[in-house]
Every structure is written in C-alpha cells, then in structure tokens.
Amino acid sequence: MTFTVSVYEAEEGGYWAEVLELPGCASQGDTLDELKDNLMEAIVACLKAHLEDDGCHAPRRVATWTLPMRERDRGLVPA
C-alpha cells in the first residue's frame, strides 16, 4: 500500500505534511527524515483507527499529476 503525501515548509522552521488518502492524517518534523518517521507513525495510527471504527476512516483514492508549465510574456501557460 502506498500513500500520497504533500510536504510543506513550516513558517516557524521544519516541515509538516498531510496524507492525501487519509483526511486528517498529518505530522511534522524538524528535518525531512524526522518528518518521514513521524508520518509513518501517523499513518499506522490512522489505519488502526479505521479498523477500530469499522471502516469509517477508509483511505480514499486520489490522483497525482505532473502539470508542466512555462513562462510566456510574464504569464504561465501550459507547456
């Protein structure tokens, strides 16, 4: 099983991330390695909650896209 994670730089330093397939499943860390470890723990906790609540927190499917863009005349346009 794989999950899609959005990672952000925190304004106060470090990083935070959310798991797109598991709404409400997020974590933070001072480094990317720490964030990854914390996210793994958060995912396990979210999946355990799913099992205990008879599936009401089931992972949802999401799509990820890479959309190439280029700058033209000071604006962005599809590549």
What pLDDT, in 10s, does the model give residues 34-67? 999 999 999 999 988 887 776 566 677 777 777 7
Instruction: Return the pLDDT at 67.
Output: 77
Question: Does residue 24 carry a pLDDT above 80?
Answer: yes
- The domains of the chain, with CATH numbers, are 5-78 (3.30.160.250)
Instruction: Return the pLDDT at 56.
Output: 60
The residue behind tokens 């390695």 is 33
Going from the C-alpha of 12 to that of each of 7, 15, 29, 43, 44, the distances in angstroms are 15, 9, 11, 24, 27
Instruction: Return the pLDDT at 15.
Output: 97
- Asked if residue 36 lies in contact with residue 29, where contact means CB atoms within 8 angstroms, the answer is yes
Question: What does the pLDDT average to over 16-23?
Answer: 92
Question: Does residue 79 carry a pLDDT above 80?
Answer: no
